[in-house]
């Protein structure tokens, strides 16, 4: 019964989608106001999609194995929390969640855009509804979450054990809020072009949605990074995994767009570039959806699905791109405004955008190049951290320096560039500190000194800017958080240590400056898995640390996962990961010391807090 309700709700939502498109098109052609009939239809559609999502949720909670999605991704022994998160922990359910957020955002837009031009609002809803229509067709005809199994199985196959984690349970919904927020940005930009409405009012509204998308995407990326750190035992915050890159690319675009909207608000300038960034953000989000859903990317994050589903997304994405290009070139009648001077805030923002686009290009090429190479030559390669580090890190130096200088410049033209003694002193202190760090760790002294000093200098300037009343509190917190994030990442890479050894129970081995002992291993039954907990001692000089990393044996499906034991203090993480070596009595024991991990997580979170404070002010 639940499956029928959910399925028919989607079909009715599809019908209402066509009705909304017709109503909005007629209203726009007749230049009518945005009337209640459109809002009523939008509300009905939102209700129907809510009903569909809730029925799928109940099917997972009740272990209704007559539903194919539930059968493939749940099990009666699975804890309730993971039954709930299993709703979106699969291809079909995650798309339904995406659709739910799309419909929610169009309702929010209706209420929060009342002061804007009616024709612009109508067209925004029209374009947003095209996206909703595409997702409805995709779900109903290729990825229906309400397919039935006859006869009904007694048990399900279970959810992938590595996905049974609190951080990953909330990671997809938050990430989708970021992705779907960019859909409103896309629709709004197309509507603004058609209505010739790329003005300050539009920029102010666009900034709200950009902030929403940016905040949730930041938090979503952070949660995914934390999950990979302790669940997969990668021992770091970022590994340039293809699906990590897919979420990072729209983040670069959103960061650039966030700064561009400020220029448009203050100077009525950069309209074309703002529109391009707005359109590109959603196109990158959709491209990521295509790469993940098609099975093209090889990653622990991807959904292993039939590539034919990816073809639908590719066709849909192509249609959206063509619509965007046609509208942009047909209606882009934006006049050129006054020039910017070299020493001005808008020039600093433009340079900031150049760097963001360069970083984006590096990540894009590193992600898609292996795909195209394999398609053309059948040769498989992987692009790892060395490629990204060599191309991105050198350009961080001027980027960070521009971030230090830009906020203090005036709009239009900086009549007098004030260079205070304290800033000069801080600059040389930054260089001195960086030189001592680089020399002590035998790195490339000149290169490392420049990189570290630029990050430390941004930190010092951000501290001084906390007293600057002309800057917004959101900007102060975000820039300070970003400076701490970069410093923490650099120091983490310099100070990190790792040793690995294979040991039997009772054995010990000295490696480098560490003595590793495999003391004991215990077995216990917990929830839906068997836990093998090892006791590992790590001794360095007079310091002795005890770790209890786990191996978890799941029966449904039959999987072994590794759980790191992490001891965190203010300045470093110490962690041990163990892995079972097949057909032996040995465990592979990997000990890692990762400095400043807490600073990385907290600074990334504070970055999102800065965005939230900006959003709170803009939504008043």
SS (H, E, C) 428-490: HHHHHHHHHHHHHCCCCHHHHHHHHHHHHHHHHHHHHHCCCCCCCHHHHHHHHHHHHHHHHHH
Residue 501's SS3 state is strand
pLDDT for position 339:
57
Per DSSP bridges, beta strands 572-580 and 587-595 are antiparallel
Q: Among 17-26, 33-42, 552-561, name the one with the lowest average pLDDT.
A: 552-561
> What does the pLDDT look like over 431-453, one tens digit per residue?
888 888 777 765 566 677 888 89
Number of domains in the chain: 4
Q: Which DSSP letter does residue 109 get?
A: H
User: Is the domain of 144 the same as that of 5?
Assistant: yes
User: 567 or 36: which carries more pLDDT confidence?
Assistant: 567
Dig out the tokens for 266 from the structure.
């203050």
Whether 480 is covered by a domain: the verdict is yes
Predicted confidence (pLDDT) at residue 218 exceeds the cutoff of 60: yes
146 and 203: one domain? Answer: no
d(CA 464, CA 424): 13
In the chain, count of helices (H) and strands (E)?
17, 10
401, pLDDT greater than 60: yes
Are 268 and 351 contained in the same domain?
yes
Q: Are the C-beta atoms of residues 487 and 498 closer than 8 Å to each other?
A: no
**pLDDT band of 556, cuts 50, 70, 90:** low
Both tokens of 486, joined, read 């970069």
Q: How many Cβ atoms sit within 10 Å of the Cβ of residue 335?
A: 6
Would you say residue 547 lies in a domain?
yes
Q: What is the pLDDT of residues 484-533, one digit of tens each?
A: 999 999 888 888 888 889 998 889 888 878 889 999 999 998 877 888 89
Pairing of strands 543-547, 497-503: unpaired
Q: Which of 53-57, 152-156, 327-331 has the lowest mean pLDDT?
A: 152-156
152 and 220 in a single domain? The answer is no
Show the domain range for 343: 175-227+240-397+405-418
Q: How many CB atoms lie within 10 A of CB 233?
A: 20
| Residue 134 domain flag | yes
Q: Whole-angstrom Cα distance, residue 255 to residue 281?
A: 10
Classify residue 512: in a domain, yes or no: yes
Contact (Cβ atoms closer than 8 angstroms) between residue 444 and residue 434: no
Measured CA distances, 523 to 77, 533, 578 (Å): 19, 6, 15
Q: Which residue, 12, 53, 52, 17, is CA-closest to 38?
A: 17
End-to-end CA separation in angstroms for the chain: 44
pLDDT band at 295 (very low <50, low <70, confident <90, very high): low
- Residue at a domain's end among 108, 128, 158: 158
Lowest mean pLDDT among 27-41, 204-218, 592-606: 27-41
Q: Which pLDDT value is given to residue 335?
A: 54
Same domain, 194 and 262: yes
Sign of CA dihedral 380, 382, 386, 392: positive
**Among the listed residues 181, 182, 330, 349, the one whose alpha carbon sits nearest the alpha carbon of residue 265:** 349
Q: 150 with 213, same domain?
A: no
Q: Record the tokens describing residue 531, joined without a space.
A: 């836990």
pLDDT at residue 304, as a whole number = 45
Contact 604, 589 (CB under 8 A): no
SS3 label, residue 530? strand
pLDDT band at 331 (very low <50, low <70, confident <90, very high): confident
Q: 192, 403, 388, 387: which is closest to 277 by C-alpha?
A: 192
Asked if residue 414 and residue 424 are part of one domain, the reply reads no
Distances (CA, A) of 454 to 16, 353, 422, 439: 55, 18, 16, 16
For the chain, give the percent of residues with pLDDT over 70.
Answer: 91
Could you please report the per-residue DSSP string of 136-202?
Answer: HHHHHHH--TT-B-SSPPSS-----GGG-SHHHHHHHHHHHHHHHHHHHHHHHHHHHHHTT--SHHH
* 251-255, 329-333, 508-512, 614-618: the lowest-pLDDT one: 614-618
- pLDDT of 300 above 80: no
Nearest to 148 by CA among 64, 82, 83: 64
**Domain match, 435 and 384 both:** no
82 contact partners, CB below 8 Å, separation of at least 6:
89, 159, 164, 169
Sign of the Cα pseudo-torsion (188, 192, 195, 199, in order): positive
C-alpha angle 514/517/523, rounded to 5°?
140
The pLDDT assigned to 194 comes to 93
pLDDT in tens, 222-232: 998 888 887 76
Q: What is the mean pLDDT of residues 456-470?
A: 88
Judge if 179 and 293 occupy the same domain.
Answer: yes
How buried is 393 (Cβ within 10 angstroms: 0-12 exposed, 13-18 middle, 19+ buried)?
middle
pLDDT for 415: 58
pLDDT (mean) for 565-569: 89
**Per the structure block, which two tokens stand in for 512?**
């480098």
User: What does the chain come to in residues?
Assistant: 620
Average pLDDT for the chain? 86
* Structural domain ending residue among the three candidates 104, 123, 158: 158
Residue at 29 is within a domain: yes
**Is residue 3 located within the same domain as residue 142?**
yes
Instruction: Tell me how far apart the alpha carbons of residues 245 and 94 are, in angstroms, rounded to a whole number.
Output: 19
Q: Is residue 312, in this structure, part of any structural domain at all?
A: yes
Residue 232 lies in a domain: no
pLDDT band for position 341 (cuts 50, 70, 90): low
Looking at the structure, tell me whether residues 411 and 551 fall in a common domain. no
pLDDT for the residue numbered 221: 92
User: DSSP state, 410?
Assistant: P
Residue 582, helix vs strand vs coil: coil
| In-domain check, residue 212 | yes
CA distance 221 to 216: 8
The answer to whether residues 607 and 573 belong to one domain is no
Listed residues 158, 187, 213: the one ending a domain: 158
């Amino acid at each position: 019964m639940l499956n029928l309700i959910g399925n028919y709700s989607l079909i009715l939502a599809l019908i209402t989608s066509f009705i909304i498109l017709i109503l909005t098109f007629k209203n726009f052609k007749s230049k009518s106001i945005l009337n209640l009939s459109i809002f009523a239809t939008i509300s009905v559609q939102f209700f129907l999609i809510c009903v569909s999502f809730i029925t799928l949720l109940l099917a997972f909670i009740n272990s209704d194995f007559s539903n194919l999605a539930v059968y493939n991704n749940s099990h009666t022994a699975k804890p309730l929390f993971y039954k709930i998160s299993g709703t979106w922990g699969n291809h079909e359910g995650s798309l339904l969640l995406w659709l739910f957020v799309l419909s929610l955002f169009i309702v929010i837009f209706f209420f929060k855009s009342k002061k804007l031009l009616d024709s612009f609002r109508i067209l925004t809803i029209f374009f947003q509804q095209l996206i909703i229509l595409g997702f409805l067709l995709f779900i109903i005809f290729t990825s229906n979450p309400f397919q039935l199994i006859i006869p009904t199985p007694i048990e399900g196959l279970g959810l992938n054990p590595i996905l049974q984690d609190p951080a990953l349970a909330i990671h997809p919904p938050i990430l989708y809020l970021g992705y779907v927020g960019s859909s409103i940005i896309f629709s709004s930009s197309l509507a603004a072009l058609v209505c010739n409405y790329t003005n300050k009012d539009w920029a102010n509204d666009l900034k709200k949605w950009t902030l929403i998308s940016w905040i949730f995407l930041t938090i979503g990326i952070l949660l995914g990074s934390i999950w990979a750190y302790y669940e997969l035992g990668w021992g770091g915050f970022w590994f340039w995994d293809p699906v990590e890159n897919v979420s990072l690319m729209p983040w670069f675009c959103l960061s650039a767009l966030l700064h561009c909207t400020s220029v448009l608000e203050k100077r009525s300038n950069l309209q074309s570039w703002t529109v391009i960034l707005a359109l590109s953000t959603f196109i990158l989000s959709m491209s990521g959806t295509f790469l993940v859903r098609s099975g093209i990317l090889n990653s622990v994050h991807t959904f292993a699905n039939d590539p034919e589903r990816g073809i639908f997304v590719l066709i849909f994405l192509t249609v959206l791109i063509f619509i965007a290009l046609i509208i942009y070139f047909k209606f882009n009648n934006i006049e050129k405004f006054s020039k910017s001077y070299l020493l001005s805030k808008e020039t600093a923002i433009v340079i900031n955008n150049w760097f963001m686009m360069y970083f984006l290009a590096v990540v894009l090429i590193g992600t898609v190049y292996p795909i195209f190479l394999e398609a053309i030559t059948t040769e498989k390669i992987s692009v790892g951290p060395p490629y990204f580090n060599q191309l991105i890190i050198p350009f961080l130096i001027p980027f960070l320096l521009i971030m230090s200088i830009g906020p203090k410049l005036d709009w239009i033209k900086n009549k007098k560039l004030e260079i205070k003694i304290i800033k000069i002193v801080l600059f040389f202190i930054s260089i001195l500190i960086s030189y001592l760090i680089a020399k002590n760790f035998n790195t490339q002294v000149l290169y490392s000194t420049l990189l570290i000093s630029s990050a430390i200098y941004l930190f010092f300037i951000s501290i001084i800017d906390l007293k600057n009343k002309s800057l917004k509190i959101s900007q102060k917190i975000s820039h300070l958080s970003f400076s701490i994030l970069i410093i923490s990442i650099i120091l983490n890479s310099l100070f990190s240590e790792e040793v690995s050894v294979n040991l039997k129970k009772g054995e010990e081995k000295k490696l480098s400056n560490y003595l590793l002992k495999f003391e004991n291993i215990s077995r216990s039954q917990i929830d839906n898995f068997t836990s093998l907990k090892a006791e590992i001692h790590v001794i360095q000089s007079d310091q002795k640390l005890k770790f209890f990393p786990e191996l978890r044996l799941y029966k449904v499906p039959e999987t072994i996962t590794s759980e790191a034991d992490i001891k965190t203090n203010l300045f470093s993480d110490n962690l041990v990961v163990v892995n079972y070596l097949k057909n032996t009595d040995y465990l592979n024991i990997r000990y890692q010391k990762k400095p400043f991990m807490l600073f990385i997580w907290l600074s990334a979170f504070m970055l999102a807090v800065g965005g939230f404070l900006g959003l709170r002010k803009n939504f008043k």
